[in-house]
Structure 1
Amino acid sequence: MFGRNSSDIGIDLGTCNTLIYIRGKGIVINEPSVVAVEKGTKKVIAVGQDAKAMLSRTPGNIIALRPLRDGVIADLESTEKMIRYFISKVLPRYRFIKPRMVIGVPSCITEVERRAVEECAYKGGAREVMVIEESLAAAIGADIPINEPAGHMICDIGGGTTEVSVISLGGMVVTNAIRLGGDEFDEAIIKHVRSVHNLIIGEQTAERLKLQIGNASPDKQIEKVEIKGTDAITGLPRRLEIDSVEVRDALKDPITQIVDQIKRTLGDTPPELAADIVERGIVMTGGGSLLKGLPKLISKETGVPVILAEHPLDCVALGAGKYYENAKGFNNTRSIYDDLN
């Protein structure tokens, strides 16, 4: 009865955004992972987009916070409330027939952090919870034929983590992950603007710069954007025009770390699977992969073709939602490479 009438839900519980996929309906939620609560009572005032608009703008009695950091839960209670809110928004009757949930998580999280995700999902209204690695979910969501006896490399750059994996026969042969993603891109821009121009800007301004003129490779056209912030010396509001060359310089360090991680994973890959990857290319997913010129830079640095997934932002949620449909062909959600060592 449960199998016929309950909904299968795939969740990308991201540092920046939470996406929810429901079987038969597609992506039904794509909102910022932000919760605004009343100080003292912890009563939820807003969730998602409405709460994000309150970041750094709330009065003293309201706190707008991001309950996930670096791909893991930093505030258990707020994360649970956020999940419950999103699920009740898309499944008003879920309390009568609870859904099965599959959640994508970074492979670098600890067992304690993994259990925290499961606990949040159960408290958020799940009947059954499956936690799988984000790169496996992203590969399923990108329609990569991972059950074939061939090597497929996927690089998922999220808000808080970057995960690079080689998948074959439904299992992860080798995987490497670092707690670095879109948030670090924003932080790098904030630090650059302060150190070079003595201007203090917020996260949302840095994110806007990244999205509008951020780039990883030199471009013929130099774009410029005007930003506003606080002068670090006088404390007064000030305007500044910044160009895409400066933003690229600011992003150089985190981008280099991601490229190094991809090279390391290629170096750990068995030769036969590496040959497959050279032929098939590296598939990129996640919001960070949308940075202008990043696929081109990675291809140049590695000598391997790089393909951007059709819907890079949705891949983890899509793959998590389709997990049960494909589960029979999977080796397991753990790295078979680790089992051999």
Structure 2
Amino acid sequence: MKFAPDIGIDLGTASILVYVKGKGIVLKEPSVVAIDKNTNTVLAVGEEARKMLGRTPGNIVAIRPLKEGVISDYDVTEKMLKYFISKVLGKSSFFSLFKPQIMVCVPSGVTEVEKRAVIDATMEAGARKVFLIEEPIAAAIGAGLDISKPNGNMVVDIGGGTADIAVISLGGVVVSTSIKIAGDKFDEALVKYMRKKYNLLIGERTAEDIKIHIGTAYKRDADVTMDVRGRNLVSGLPENVTVKAMETFHALEENVNQIADAVHMVLEKTPPELSADISDKGIIMTGGGSLLWGLDKLISNRTGINVQIAEDAVSCVAMGTGEALNSLHLLKRSGGVSKKR
């Protein structure tokens, strides 16, 4: 019997990337679903729904069903997965007959209950078999690291909901931690800063634009600016202010320092032989959050170890999740992946 091609899914808080075996990454869309509250029907998913964030009438709500790396709304996550999988595989009749094997990545700190929620949602969405892989392992594979050898590799994967830091050897995680500080927390910090400094209320999309264009984790030699539009909380009217990159440095300082502290803590717990490997090879950073300007410099300065950002940092986890389907025997043996149902 011919089955649908194997699929790897990076089930991210901010966005979902889908990898199809033999084709590579075929879908990358925001993890947002727009729902009509009156009829409980899904109106839009992905990019179309993201455009509705903060702009919907009373009966329509645009929600993100994943928070801090885990499922917060099971039913909506299931609908979202079903939509994306059927979009990737094409006609629903083919999809219902030939179900795919699906590898889903999860943060390294998830509980068994949270894992079960991911498995059940993926099975209900139409999977034949579900495998789970931890984000740092998927990120390392996607970044092109050979994790099968008895050498230490350190990966810092910063997504939308979590920052996962792990030391990997022989296909498994030796030491790791997962903290709920990542891209979404950066956005929240910028929203709070704009409210406190300028009495200006901005939405999460505007905060994300600030983060991408002038967000700073390490002091720059030359400051850059950006015009930001929002609603003045005193007058209630739209207002435009010019924000400097150094202001974002102060807004984000607490969050980025917590990530640097977590990296330091993992290094402290790493066996000495693996520490020597990491010192030689450096630390690899993946995920959209790693693209925050100067975050690599901050971690390098704090640890004294060279830090590199992966070539395609945003897609690393999705690529690694898909490619891991080719190495199931190795990853199962090392505990890097688990088969469910």
TM-score band w.r.t. shorter chain: over 0.9
The answer to whether the Cα contact below 8 Å between 2:328 and 2:337 also exists between their aligned partners in 1 is: no
Whole-angstrom distance in 1 between the partners of 2:110 and 2:285: 21
Distance in 1 between residues matched to 2:329 and 2:153, nearest whole Å: 19
C-alpha deviation, 1:334, in angstroms:
7.2
| Unmatched tracts of structure 2, length 5 or more | none
The 3-state SS of whatever aligns with 2:146 is: coil
CA distance in 2, matches of 1:42, 1:305: 50
Find the counterpart in structure 2 of residue 332 from structure 1: 335
Alignment match, 1:338: none
Give the counterpart letter for 1:160 in structure 2.
G
1:184 maps to a residue whose letter is K
- Per the alignment, residue 154 of structure 1 pairs with 155
Match of residue 115 from structure 1? 116
- 2:50 corresponds, among 27, 41, 52, to 52
The one-letter code sitting in structure 2 at the alignment partner of 1:219 is: R
* 1:172-187 alignment, distance < 5 Å: 172-187=173-188
How far, CA to CA, are the matches of 1:61 and 1:250 in structure 2? 34
Residue 262 (structure 1) aligns with: 263
CA contact (8 A) 2:164 2:177 kept: yes
Q: Which amino acid in the other structure matches residue 324 of structure 2?
A: Y
Q: Structure 2: how far apart are the matches of 1:33 and 1:324?
A: 23
From 33, 36, 43, the equivalent of 1:35 is 33
Contact 1:172 1:334 in 2 (8 A): no
Residue equivalent to 2:228: 227
Q: 1:157·1:181 contact (CA, 8 Å) conserved in 2? A: yes
| 1:75 aligned residue | 73
Aligned residue identity for 2:50: K
1:99-138 deviations in Å (ceiling 9; x for gaps): 1000000111211111000011011110000111111111
| 2:101 aligned partner, one-letter code | R
Question: Displacement of 1:69 after TM fit?
Answer: 0.4
Task: Give the TM-score normalised by the residue count of structure 1.
Answer: 0.95
User: Shift of the alpha carbon at 1:221?
Assistant: 1.9
Alignment of 1:12-23 (within 5 A): 12-23=10-21
Is residue 132–residue 337 contact of structure 2 (8 Å, CA) maintained in 1?
Answer: no
CA RMSD across the alignment:
1.2
Distance in 2 of aligned mates of 1:108 and 1:41: 36
- Contact 1:14 1:159 (8 Å CA) reproduced: yes
The CA deviation at 1:301 is 1.0
Q: Could you tell me which amino acid in structure 1 is paired with residue 5 of structure 2?
A: S
Aligned to 1:339: none
Question: Percent of aligned positions with the same letter in both sequences?
Answer: 50
> CA 1:334 to 1:48, structure 2 compared with 1: closer, same or farther past 3 Å?
closer
